[in-house]
Structure 1
Amino acid sequence: MINVLAVTHHARENINPIRPEASQIIGLHKTGKVRVTALCNPNSPLIALFESHGIEVFTDKLNKKFSLTSIKKIKQLIKDRDIKILHLFNNIACCNGAMAAIGTDVKAIAYRGQTGNMSRIDPLSYLTLLHPRLDKIICVAKAVELELKTHLGRHKDKAVTVYKGHDSSWYQNPKADLSDLKLADGSFVISLVANLRPRKGLPVLMEALSLLPKDTNLDVLLVGADPSSPQIQALIESSGRVGRVHALGYRTDAPEVAAASDLTVLPTTKREGLCRAVLEANSYGIPAIVSDTGGNAELVKDGHSGIVVPPSKPQELADAIMKLYNDRELCALYGKNAKERAVNKFNVEQGVQATLYVYLSLV
């Protein structure tokens, strides 16, 4: 039996973003080969979930990237629970956990969820993923692994890929009710679900919409876009489709909103990982158009479960939208294939087994 300490920090009430991570931890505990102890922040929604599956949970604020209190707590748990694997699921956990591992025999594993924003000449990188005390770094996609290896020098073997697992049972809710939006009859509905940082490509999508024929009957749902933001409203105006592009703000039912669309898009310009929102839409049978950055091209099989376009190319994105707009049968086929791909390639079981393999290779 391998004793594992999983260190994770989440303050959101919405469980959707952290369901794959939680299910992986629970799945490992259920294998009978791993005994998981968890360290969470006191407000984490994971506490009750973990405890309901027999996982012992401790709490710490985990609110600073370098906290002597957190480091001491982790080090004490390593000693008291005879921890062999220290699994660190975010930057706060990584900074404190890697420091706590110093002077112990524990094997420390970090998580890497996207490409970019790292440099071998940046001292801060050595407090997280380039910390010399880390033994493995589990990457969310192969593209993330390959990019990380360019920073690891002679320690390239530290980086491995494990796809985050999703469960089809999570995606059985009814589609979101969009009746209040008064969408046009027969409208082709496109969703973009993202925390709309500039790199998520909203300007690219708005420019692509401006390139479509004026009589194209479509509506666009922007989940995560603040409707009161002047910048968002200016972008919507630039699309030439005011009244047909709807900023919905933050939604706890984002997967159900995507399920109510015909197509989801993610025109990220850089620094992508393996987008959860696309996997959620795919799990409901909704195909995706994504840009070829990070793990997107691993998530969507071009010409089979969706379309992959070059990043920051509005015309190519517009052409892809029109292809599926004009061929609804093809769009539906891509959606069917996307759902099968989500079930077969990105399920919880493969994530658990791949992670267990990493554990066994270290212990």
Structure 2
Amino acid sequence: MTNQRHEQPLPAVLCLTDACDRPESELFIGLRNAGFDVDVMCNPKGRNYQRLVDEGLVAQPMALKNRFDKDGTAAIRDQLSRKHYDVIHAYNPRALACGLRASKGRDIKVVAYRGVIGNISFLNPESWITFLHPRVSKIVCVADAIKDYLASLHFLWMRIPERKLQRIYKGHDLGWYQAEPADLSEFGVPGDALAVCCTGRNSPRKGFDDLIHAMNHLPGDANVHLLLVGDVIDNEEIRALVDESPFADRIHFTGYRNDAPAIAAASDVFVLPSKDREGLPRAVIEAMAYGVAPVVTGVGGMPELVENEVSGLVVEPKDPAALAAAIARLIRDRGLAHRLGQAARARIADHFHTSQTVRETGDLYKSLTGKS
């Protein structure tokens, strides 16, 4: 008589998110293709929503307003009552708070996702309904820097146990980045200029002021044009700094653009001069995927993403002179800029691929539930 090994089905997972981006969406699809029973509750206004619907992954649409959204919590509770899940994976604090509330009294593992440093404290009541909640089984950190930050938090005897923290990089695929590079002449950039691109939200911590000051450190005859992509166009202080700059006619605000990656792809250098609290910035990853040399500051997870002198240049934060020196170096040596850009592209392909994220996330689910 032949012995047949009985294999348990892989865990059933309910993913709670908002308007999920391409890496999240492809993670869900990859997990389903790997045999996991994955359902998603997400915002129907997201650009990847229809793809998830077409893949049969959307359990029901959901757009949470806040961490105490009663209707959203009821919708999650209703989904949990209709089907057995082994794991809830919540991809933002609102989803985490509502998912914890909806799953109260159920035997289910809760996994949280954390993509940034900061805003968690043992003295903050809202942290106790999210990441510090005792029913959170695991916190997936998008970078080691975030994992180290969470491990360092403490108050009296209280800490987040090391066993609760796991780093899983957010995965990408070079095949997603096939947009035709933008025509930068639209913004007044000459064809023979070295184009420097910076994309980011209108936030002081993004360091736009340091970048403007860095431009002022460059030689006056440097043929450099800077493109500031995003809602920083609405920042009056930054606009005033630009007006005062000797490079004012070579600094261009594009405003918010749906084709931001194509603008980065057409540039020679991509700069993100953040002052603090970065995870793994998507804008940097997109530029690297297009083979554009990155210059970043050594904050958060950026030194994990960009290997200094190998796949880009890493400088100290809040140091415009150092930032200017890195940009000037790439102006003088276009060959170096090209080599760093190609190495950056290879780094995304080899170390931040979506297949790795799928594998590590699936292994996490299996280790939590004992199902394999």
TM over 0.5: yes
- Where 1:58 maps in the other structure, the secondary structure is strand
The equivalent of 2:339 in structure 1 is 333
> Deviations for 1:112-131, whole angstroms, at most 9, x for unmatched residues?
00111222111121122112
Q: Distance in 1 between matches of 2:63 and 2:177?
A: 32
The equivalent of 2:32 in structure 1 is 29
- Where 1:339 maps in the other structure, the secondary structure is helix
Give 1:1-363 correspondences, 5 Å limit: 1-10=10-19, 18-32=21-35, 34-151=36-153, 153=159, 155-227=161-233, 229-363=235-369
Distance 1:129-1:240 versus aligned 2 partners, 3 A rule: farther
CA contact (8 A) 1:225 1:232 kept: no
Tell me the amino acid that sits aligned with residue 9 of structure 1.
D
CA apart distance, 1:150: 1.7
CA contact (8 A) 2:201 2:232 kept: no
Tell me the amino acid that sits aligned with residue 36 of structure 1.
V
CA apart distance, 1:166: 0.8
Q: Distance in 1 between matches of 2:85 and 2:365?
A: 12
| Structure 1 unaligned spans of 5+ | 11-16
- Where 1:116 maps in the other structure, the secondary structure is coil
Tell me the amino acid that sits aligned with residue 76 of structure 1.
D
Aligned CA RMSD, in angstroms, stands at 1.5
Q: Distance in 1 between matches of 2:160 and 2:297?
A: 31
| Structure 2 unaligned spans of 5+ | 1-9
Q: Distance in 1 between matches of 2:234 and 2:139?
A: 40
> Deviations for 1:71-110, whole angstroms, at most 9, x for unmatched residues?
2221232232101010101111011012222211110011
The equivalent of 2:4 in structure 1 is none
The equivalent of 1:14 in structure 2 is none
CA apart distance, 1:167: 1.2
Moved more, 18-27 or 55-64: 55-64
| TM-score where L is the length of structure 1 | 0.94
| TM-score where L is the length of structure 2 | 0.92
CA apart distance, 1:173: 1.4
Q: Distance in 2 between matches of 1:203 and 1:314?
A: 9
- Where 2:300 maps in the other structure, the secondary structure is coil
CA contact (8 A) 1:207 1:238 kept: no
Tell me the amino acid that sits aligned with residue 164 of structure 1.
K
Q: Distance in 2 between matches of 1:100 and 1:146?
A: 30
CA apart distance, 1:154: 5.1
Q: Distance in 2 between matches of 1:94 and 1:346?
A: 25
CA contact (8 A) 1:222 1:248 kept: yes
Q: Distance in 1 between matches of 2:234 and 2:296?
A: 27
Q: Distance in 2 between matches of 1:254 and 1:183?
A: 16
Distance 1:278-1:61 versus aligned 2 partners, 3 A rule: closer
- Where 1:219 maps in the other structure, the secondary structure is strand
Distance 1:187-1:2 versus aligned 2 partners, 3 A rule: same
> Deviations for 1:8-40, whole angstroms, at most 9, x for unmatched residues?
112xxxxxx7111111111111101x1111112
Q: Percent identity?
A: 38
Q: How many residues align structurally?
A: 356
- Where 1:135 maps in the other structure, the secondary structure is strand
In our comparison, the structure showing a higher alpha carbon Rg is 2
